[in-house]
Homo-oligomer: A and B are copies of this chain.
Amino acid sequence: MTYCVAISVDQGLVFVSDSRTNSGVDNVSTYSKMRSFGVPGERQFVICAAGNLATTQSVFLQLERDIAGNAPQNLMNLTGVADAASYLGRVSVEQQRETPGGPVFEASFLIGGEVAGSTRSRSFMVYPEGNHIASGPQTPFLQIGEIKYGKPILDRVVSADTSLEDATVCALLSMDATTRSNVSVGPPIEVRAYHSGTLQPPRYVSFGDDSPYLHELRRAWTHELHAALRRLPAVGWNEAATAREL
């Protein structure tokens, strides 16, 4: 399994992905699921992948081959992030279909970034079928993989005016909720944060299993939740609607 999240705020984009892969319960490995592509001052892209590992690796390889071979469409000549998402969807479907012997091994992707002269930074989710949806003001985050455990914190906290730093912490809390509940999602946890308008490579960090920062974040968050719980309104046992039992 996998969990990746992309948050789009006014200040920029945050991507967080886990690095655990598994086939069943015992073929457990570690692979990065996030790549960064770009030319400083001209274009920056971050891509996260979920799904069949053979497919996602083939897709990343093909993206690099298209760049190296200066293909008619590649990440270095597309004129916007939406075009890059369409291109990524096409490459993904092609790679899924090229599996010699089997059924289709599906993959999904998050792609975000910015291209000079285009609109501001944007992010997209690319479905296994190759089509895509964009983040928006009402939907400032996109998720792929094991999405449910990490969704409530994003729902409650993230909006377009959340700072890039707060969005990054929030994405890490979302990831931490997921790794805690699903053992097939695990560290290293990779993070990239792109400042909108800079066209410079995103800031990067990878947190390992024994990360002091993640440990401290988890401890502080649990402490804060306990303290917050004590400040909430007492249960409304006497609310009017309670008069009649269902």
Residue of B nearest to A31 (CB): B246
Whether the pair A157, B225 counts as a contact (CB closer than 8 A) is yes
Q: How far is the CA of A149 from the CA of B155 in the complex (A)?
A: 11
Q: Which of B34, B221, B237, B246 touches A228 (beta carbons < 8 Å)?
A: B221
Interface residues of A in 122-178 (CB under 8 A from B): 148-153, 155-157, 165-166, 168-170, 172, 177
Of B156, B181, B235, which is within 8 A of A148 by CB? B181
Q: Are B237's CB and A212's CB within 8 A?
A: no
Within 8 A of B (CB), among A218-239: 220-222, 224-239
- Label chain A's interface by main secondary structure: helix
User: Which residues from chain B contact A190 at a C-beta distance below 8 Å?
Assistant: 246
Cα A34 to Cα B246 with chains together (Å) = 9
Q: Which residues of chain A from 170 to 192 have any CB-CB distance to chain B below 8 Å in the complex?
A: 170, 172, 177, 180-181, 188, 190-191
Inter-subunit contact B156/A222 (CB<8 Å):
yes
| B204 pairs with A245, CB closer than 8 A | yes
Chain A residues bordering chain B, tally (CB within 8 A): 60
Instruction: Specify the chain B residue showing the minimal Cβ separation from A17.
Output: B246
Subset of 28 A-B contacts with CB under 8 Å: A34-B246, A148-B181, A151-B181, A152-B153, A155-B181, A156-B177, A157-B225, A157-B229, A165-B234, A166-B230, A169-B234, A188-B246, A190-B246, A191-B235, A204-B245, A205-B235, A205-B236, A205-B237, A206-B241, A206-B245, A211-B236, A211-B239, A211-B241, A213-B236, A214-B236, A217-B233, A220-B231, A228-B228
Residue numbers of A with Cβ under 8 A of B are 19, 32, 34, 148-153, 155-157, 165-166, 168-170, 172, 177, 180-181, 188, 190-191, 193, 203-208, 211-214, 216-217, 220-222, 224-239, 241-242, 245-246
